[in-house]
């Protein structure tokens, strides 16, 4: 009987705080674009109050910010060879420190690749995100901190990049029966702009030979993760990739086929260090499940349903029966000495 721990904390996920308000407020904030003599005015917002009974809201007044300021942004967009890039627009997004943003403003560079914007913004907008997307180059995303008061920001030369190419392979100790369920995530760990968390690249599918690949990977340090929907993060490596360079990582799954494992996901308001899971096999023997990341306890391989005893530090325990191989079983340990069972998946 072989046992294995799948250790990891799951893939990283970036999150920008959403605009807090009703759907009508959100639509209004996105659609509004008031114009001042110097360009778009980003310092005015509507105030709405809920109407009891029907779930809608009504406009009661326009409320300008008490103070606004002028901001000027200029720079130059270049292609990887240093030539002016005039075929794509530069997107400017002003943001607050909490991540709230107005609709982006597109500025088209001139024949020399220079772009310029001048307008009025509210004092709460202290960050600027600049983006440019080219179909055959790495998307550019840069963040800038705006100076207090009237701000004249020179971004300098913003250069698009070709990026690198990742082509790696996954090695399994046991050939998986559900190969299509596995995938690889590539996460650039550098160049995240202020107020804008980094994001994983689109997931990489794994072919029949275990190979995966991705192009237009931003240069710098990247993490490359092997993920299974039942087990979560299984393996992860880090590497540095250069523009026009190649990276050939190897990812491994040394455990049994997930379709032969029983996985128990434990949620608890207290420390999971006090929780133990004991698997009881049909031959009468009991074996502790191996703790992984994110509250996962894994046991396998098994070829028939089994039982598990989940015990909390205060001595309260519950037994689950009929845990089938290839299943994810969720158990929520609730406060006030209550244990809640949820369905298996």
The answer to whether the 23-159 and 164-253 domains have the same CATH topology is yes
Instruction: Confirm if 67 and 124 have CB atoms less than 8 A apart.
Output: no
Instruction: Confirm if 323 and 305 have CB atoms less than 8 A apart.
Output: yes
- CATH assignment of 261-344, among 1.10.1060, 2.60.40, 1.10.472, 2.30.29: 2.60.40
Which tens digits make up the pLDDT trace of 108-157? Answer: 999 999 999 999 888 888 999 999 999 999 988 888 999 888 889 999 99
Assign 226 a pLDDT band (cuts: 50, 70, 90). Answer: very high
Measured CA to CA, the distance from residue 344 to residue 100 in angstroms comes to: 38
In which residue are the tokens 């105030």 written?
47
CATH code of the region 164-253: 2.60.40.180
CATH code of the region 23-159: 2.60.40.1120
Which tens digits make up the pLDDT trace of 43-56? Answer: 444 434 344 444 44
In which residue are the tokens 């096999």 written?
281
Mean pLDDT over residues 279-293, rounded?
81
Q: Is the pLDDT of residue 256 over 50?
A: yes
Kindly give, in sequence order, each residue whose CB lies less than 8 Å from that of residue 143, ignoring residues fewer than 6 positions away: 127, 128, 129, 130, 192, 193, 194, 195, 196
Task: Show me where the domains of the chain are located.
Answer: 23-159, 164-253, 261-344
pLDDT at 345: 59
Which tens digits make up the pLDDT trace of 299-331? Answer: 888 888 888 888 877 777 788 888 888 888 888
Measured CA to CA, the distance from residue 178 to residue 264 in angstroms comes to: 19
Alpha-carbon separation of residue 251 from 25, 76, 169, 180 (angstroms): 46, 40, 6, 16
Phi, psi angles (nearest 5°) of residue 245: -100, 175
Q: Is the pLDDT of residue 62 over 60?
A: no
């Amino acid at each position: 009987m072989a046992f294995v721990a799948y250790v990891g904390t799951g893939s990283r996920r970036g999150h920008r705080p959403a605009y807090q308000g009703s759907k009508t407020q959100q639509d209004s904030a996105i659609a509004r674009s008031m114009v001042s003599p110097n360009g778009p005015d980003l310092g005015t917002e509507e105030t709405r109050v809920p109407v009891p009974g029907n779930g809608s809201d009504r406009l009661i007044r326009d409320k300008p910010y008490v103070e606004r300021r002028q901001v000027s942004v200029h720079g130059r967009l270049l292609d990887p060879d240093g030539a002016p890039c005039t075929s794509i627009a530069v997107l400017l997004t002003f943001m607050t420190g909490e991540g709230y943003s107005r609709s982006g403003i597109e500025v088209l560079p001139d024949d020399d690749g220079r772009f310029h914007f001048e307008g009025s913004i509210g004092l709460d907008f202290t960050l600027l995100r600049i983006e440019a997307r080219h179909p055959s180059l790495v998307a550019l995303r840069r963040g800038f901190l705006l100076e207090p008061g009237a701000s004249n920001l020179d971004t300098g030369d913003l250069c698009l990049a070709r990026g690198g190419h990742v082509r790696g392979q996954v090695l399994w100790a046991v050939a998986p029966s559900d190969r299509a369920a596995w995938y690889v995530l590539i996460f650039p760990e550098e160049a995240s702009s202020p107020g804008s968390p980094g994001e994983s690249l689109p997931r990489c599918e794994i072919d029949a030979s275990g190979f995966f690949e991705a192009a237009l990977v931003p240069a710098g340090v990247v993490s490359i993760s092997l993920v299974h929907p039942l087990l979560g993060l299984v393996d992860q490596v880090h590497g540095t990739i250069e523009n026009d360079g190649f990276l050939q990582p190897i990812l491994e799954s040394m455990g049994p086929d997930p379709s032969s494992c029983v996985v128990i996901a434990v949620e608890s308001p207290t420390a999971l260090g006090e929780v133990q899971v004991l698997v009881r096999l049909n031959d009468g023997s009991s074996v502790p499940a191996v703790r992984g990341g994110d509250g996962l306890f894994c046991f396998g391989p098994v070829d028939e349903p089994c039982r598990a005893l989940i015990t909390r530090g205060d001595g309260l325990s519950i037994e689950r029966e009929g845990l089938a191989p290839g299943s994810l079983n969720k158990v929520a340990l609730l406060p006030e000495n209550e244990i809640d069972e949820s369905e298996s998946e």
